[in-house]
Amino acid sequence: MQYQAPERDAQFLLFDVFRAQDVWAQIPALNDFSEDLINAVLSEGARLTAEVVAPTNQIGDQQGCEWRDGAVTTPQEFQAAFAELAAGGWLGLAGNPEFGGQGMPKMLASLIEEMLWAANTSLYLYGTLTVGASLCLDAHGTPEQKATYLPKLYSGEWTGAMALTESHAGSDLGIMRTRAEPQADGSYSITGTKIFITGGEHDLAENIVHLTLAKLPDAPAGTKGISLFIVPKYLVNEDGSLGERNGWASGSLEHKMGIRGSATSVINYDGATGFLLGEENQGLAAMFTMMNYERLSVGIQGLGSGEMAYQQAAAYAKDRLQGRASTGPQNPDGPADSLLVHPDVRRMLLAQRALNEAGRAFAVYVGMQLDLAKYAQDAEAQTRSELLTPVAKAFLTDNGFQGAVLAQQVFGGHGYIQEWGVEQVVRDARIGQIYEGTNGIQAMDLISRKVLRDGGVNLRRFVDLMAQTEVAREHQADLNDALDRLVRVTAYIVDHAAGDPHLSGSVATEYLDLFGLTIYAWLWGRMVSVAPADDFGEAKRATARFFFARLLPRTDGLERSICSSGDAVMALRGESF
Amino acid sequence: MQYQAPERDAQFLLFDVFRAQDVWAQIPALNDFSEDLINAVLSEGARLTAEVVAPTNQIGDQQGCEWRDGAVTTPQEFQAAFAELAAGGWLGLAGNPEFGGQGMPKMLASLIEEMLWAANTSLYLYGTLTVGASLCLDAHGTPEQKATYLPKLYSGEWTGAMALTESHAGSDLGIMRTRAEPQADGSYSITGTKIFITGGEHDLAENIVHLTLAKLPDAPAGTKGISLFIVPKYLVNEDGSLGERNGWASGSLEHKMGIRGSATSVINYDGATGFLLGEENQGLAAMFTMMNYERLSVGIQGLGSGEMAYQQAAAYAKDRLQGRASTGPQNPDGPADSLLVHPDVRRMLLAQRALNEAGRAFAVYVGMQLDLAKYAQDAEAQTRSELLTPVAKAFLTDNGFQGAVLAQQVFGGHGYIQEWGVEQVVRDARIGQIYEGTNGIQAMDLISRKVLRDGGVNLRRFVDLMAQTEVAREHQADLNDALDRLVRVTAYIVDHAAGDPHLSGSVATEYLDLFGLTIYAWLWGRMVSVAPADDFGEAKRATARFFFARLLPRTDGLERSICSSGDAVMALRGESF
């Protein structure tokens, strides 16, 4: 099945819905980017993903990665595809121009990332880790560190990896054991074992730059005693050439449910040479500066999976002849009508569309907040991006997985066999809900840090912004109801959380879903308000109607579930589980 | 991870909730079964599944099945486990005693089936197809056919398979192409290709009895021209010994997302000898007589997956130390508290428990209706079983899959790697929503055939029955609200379906969910009303509270979604998908 990037929708979002041209015009760093240039980038991204990246997706899943004596071989087809992706500058798209990046806005990068995730999630994982490492180095590196690493990462000659997790410490980084001993030359000797290291070892690049969390000998206990180190596979000589092999190795690969073309290593650091990145004991904070970007990117992974799955299911439903329409044959000369005549099949496809298209708008919107914060020092946009990031990560990946499951269901039995490819999308999409902070952790981040900490003030400010935006008249009343509900539920939680320390955790996931659906209602209202009078616009209006009639009503149940929780979650004794 | 059958819960349901002893006492065919005997069967089932079946589950997934020149090899460990399962008489548990079955009630068999599905879904598929074929032969076979096949199937020396699907005709059996030519000796020559044939070929039994749908030369078009044939792998001699190899063979195996220890064949019939089962052109009707049993069984597969996944997740959550309770350390001497201190983890575990335990009650209840219909000629019970079967199949498998996904989420990253086994449960559970009639087809069966056809009369009768049952006082008001809602939504659909031919299909899935949740509310009310004053009863009451506070509220959104559907599902033009 050929993936085709949603180029038209991307243009609609950038230029009609969010009017990126007006935003960029007022920002010196971005006002060089013309609409023509942006359209050319989108077109080239669409070509690359359709012609080069997507064809490697299914075969990558079948071949998987191989480990032998510490060396990792990726699927055969990945080499050429990654080389083309790297050579095209796609990993430096939003990178710092001072060091060879292209300095393009995240609004655009979000759309390109979606294409790459959709076309081959496993392959792009090597890319996104590289982009993430670059962001961290750009924010916290010394000028020498930036000059040494950034150009090579932007060009994809080297790739990045993040080494956080240890086997006993998943989401709880405070109890990690990896040690960093200061050396006489100013470097550190890193010893310990990390697990689940995506792209920690592979054969797609000549060097692999680990950003590794470890503890100094005298470090405070818990998360305040964690430092961040650059630990490259090959040490880099003064002249930039590669020197000796560093003291770490892949101990084994994980056998995973999906993303099987992505090599996930156990990494053993055995006195490896590391270089402090940022300040001592400030490692977590340094990691967090890029967290909003990374979490948005993983959210976009979910979106890409959802889009890829939808395209497969829609093509299958149009082509597959099964049964007859309840109103009489629509394909009287054929043996049966297409699956599209069945309302239940349409329900599944429309749910995917409604969530994908709103999800794409959401990703671009969050990207815009990151751009405004970074390039226009817009503090409100920074706060908004922090509020919205956990929602983007969790809601987009939840919807991506559920959309892929719906797409698989459209295929019936053919969705369960490997041949058609859609079961791979389900397996690949599942990881998005788990890594980069599980979606439960995102939900708690949202409710605790982003909503309760200021008593709901920022949330309320964002609700006011949504209420003041012009949306399509036919959806205004439903949107108002949804906004009122969000305010009401937030107030309920703010009021009750003080007296019940378990409340916020108990209802966090439902609250995130409620918030996400409300944002999607707002975005559908905005999209419809500027949808053109052609087939594209007609499809937007029809999909929006489905969203408001069939998906937004879930918020009714979410409100009642949240507000009747009481101590229902904590009542059962631990031994009884 | 060791599976342990929920024996205590099984006893509670049989003897406290549904008072099986009183039901059976009034039915001659069942009044021999004492409580002691039934408890012994449950215990032996628990032992068999924990010690013999479950240990083959994970290795079966890893090894998969192999095809060579038409021969199929199952995972090595399956041979001994299946032999013990067969020798123990478990496949004839509810079989006809006249031909070697044990004649036990479906109420009990449902609970045993759950254990077998949970312990190894792939392995039990060979069993359930055998049970299904036996049911069909018992209902429609001639005395000679029954005597020839039933004892061998009940003993598991032979197994059964159902050959319905063809590659161009999945759910649309009317357009099948397999032909049956009458022969001079009264047999038929079967020619055609079937796909997705579970257990169609394997090495676990000396003979495999296919029940194959095919068309006679002069058959009417569509589903009224389909006949059913017995097409054994080896023809059976007069004396019951095996004769010559029949003219069919496995053309290949499917590569599937899960249930990889279950061999799914393409079967090529090349003039194979078949024997008519039942009447000419009545094949679909014959298949449908066992459909309620089979669909309930697949529903129970979902339940088994849900239970297996829950047990894994609960054990992991109790054992895994991560983070601290928001109210202060609960395990102050350890490096962290267990996952159980986190409300969001409890939310996931409680959702699984609440759905599994109600699902188990539901399966036993539907089994009771089948028993009453079969052994007490209770026409109302027959009608109820027909109303409830599509709900049991779809709702139990949907919840089983979603429960497995929640269990996987509890594991975090460890849930995504094969080592822990929970990702296998997710992959295995997924098929239950697809085969034996997709869940969308179940939803349309419910709304069209079981509810709309009689204008909602039978549905209303079942609602009245639920309303008249004694339930725990603390849940009566919520149950009443749920029943009122179900009546209101049903009336809405009945009223509007006449004027909108797409309405029932558009809202079928949500209606099934609404009905399922309402039934679960009733069952939770019943369970709490008889829950004992010990830890077991305490856990029931706590889980029920979670169900009413956190899961039943979903019906709010389902009602609004159904009642505001309008033409939202059909508005988008086919070309725009």
Per-residue pLDDT of chain B (577 residues; tens, 9 = 90+): 589 999 999 999 999 999 999 999 999 999 989 999 999 999 999 999 999 999 999 999 999 999 999 999 999 999 999 999 999 999 999 999 999 999 999 999 999 999 999 999 999 999 999 999 999 999 999 999 999 999 999 999 999 999 998 988 766 777 789 999 999 999 999 999 999 999 999 999 999 999 999 999 999 988 899 999 999 999 999 999 999 999 999 999 999 999 999 999 999 999 999 999 999 999 999 988 777 788 999 999 999 999 999 999 999 999 888 888 888 888 888 888 899 999 999 999 999 999 999 999 999 999 999 999 999 999 999 999 999 999 999 999 999 999 999 999 999 999 999 999 999 999 999 999 999 999 999 999 999 999 999 999 999 999 999 999 999 999 999 999 999 999 999 999 999 999 999 999 999 999 999 999 999 999 999 999 999 999 999 999 999 999 999 999 999 999 999 999 888 999 999 999 9
Q: 3-class SS at B304?
A: helix
Domain with CATH 1.20.140.10 in chain B: 290-432
Which of chain B's residues have a Cβ under 8 Å away from the Cβ of A439?
Answer: 409
* Bridge partners (DSSP) listed for residue B253: B265
Which of chain A's residues have a Cβ under 8 Å away from the Cβ of B423?
Answer: 256-257
Strands (E), B381-535: none
Question: Is B316 an 8 Å CB contact of chain A?
Answer: no
Which tens digits make up the pLDDT trace of B370-423?
Answer: 999 999 999 999 999 999 999 999 999 999 999 999 999 999 999 999 999 999
Measured CA to CA, the distance from residue A120 to residue B146 in angstroms comes to 54
b/e for B209-245, b at 16 or more Cβ within 10 A?
bbbbbbbbeebeeebebbbbbbbbbbbbeeeeeeeee
Which of chain A's residues have a Cβ under 8 Å away from the Cβ of B335?
Answer: 168, 175
Q: What DSSP line would sit under A432-461, residue for residue? A: GGTSSS-HHHHHHIIIIIIIITTTTHHHHH
Alpha helix ranges (H) inside A291-378:
291-319, 343-376
Q: What DSSP line would sit under A203-246, residue for residue? A: SSSSEEEEEEEEB-TTPPSGGGGBEEEEEESEEE-TTS-EEEEP
Q: Which of residues 183-202 of A touch B (CB under 8 A)?
A: 195-196
pLDDT band at A320 (very low <50, low <70, confident <90, very high): confident
**Residue among B175, B347, B443 whose CB faces A336 most closely:** B175
DSSP designation for B220: P
Written in H, E and C, the secondary structure of B242-283 is: EEEECCEEEEEECCECCCCCCCEEEEEEEEEEEEECCCCCCH
**Contact call for B539 and A443, based on CB within 8 A:** no
- CATH class label, B290-432: mainly alpha
pLDDT, mean of residues A200-205: 98
- B7-288 is classed in which CATH architecture? Beta Barrel (2.40)
Average pLDDT value for chain A: 96
Domain with CATH 2.40.110.20 in chain B: 7-288
Min Cα separation B239/chain A (Å): 40
Q: CB of A91 within 8 A of CB of A82?
A: no
Burial classification of residue A330, based on how many CB atoms lie within 10 Å of its CB (0-12 exposed, 13-18 middle, 19 or more buried): middle
- CATH class label, A290-437: mainly alpha
pLDDT band at A59 (very low <50, low <70, confident <90, very high): very high
Measured CA to CA, the distance from residue B554 to residue A562 in angstroms comes to 11
Q: 3-class SS at A100?
A: coil
Which tens digits make up the pLDDT trace of B129-187?
Answer: 999 999 999 999 999 999 999 999 999 999 999 999 898 876 677 778 999 999 999 99
**Contact call for A257 and B426, based on CB within 8 A:** yes
Question: Is B499 an 8 Å CB contact of chain A?
Answer: no
Q: Which residues contact A437 (CB under 8 A, 6 or more apart)?
A: A171, A295, A390, A393, A445
B436 is catalytic: yes
Structure tokens given for A5: 């990037």
Q: 3-class SS at A275?
A: strand
Backbone phi, then psi, for B33, in 5-degree steps? -85, 105
Q: Which of residues 325-354 of A touch B (CB under 8 A)?
A: 326-327, 335-336, 338, 340, 342-350, 353
pTM: 0.96
Measured CA to CA, the distance from residue A340 to residue A343 in angstroms comes to 7
Measured CA to CA, the distance from residue B577 to residue B564 in angstroms comes to 22
pLDDT the model gives residue B173: 74
Structure tokens given for B203: 């090495």
**Contact call for B573 and A414, based on CB within 8 A:** no
Tell me the torsion sign for CA atoms A172, A174, A177, A180. positive
Nearest CA in chain B to A444: B344
Structure tokens given for A513: 């879903």
Measured CA to CA, the distance from residue B318 to residue B112 in angstroms comes to 27
b/e for B44-55, b at 16 or more Cβ within 10 A?
ebbebbbebbbb
CA A137 vs. chain centroid, Å, equals: 20
Q: Give the closest residue to B269 by CA, choosing from B230, B237, B241.
A: B230
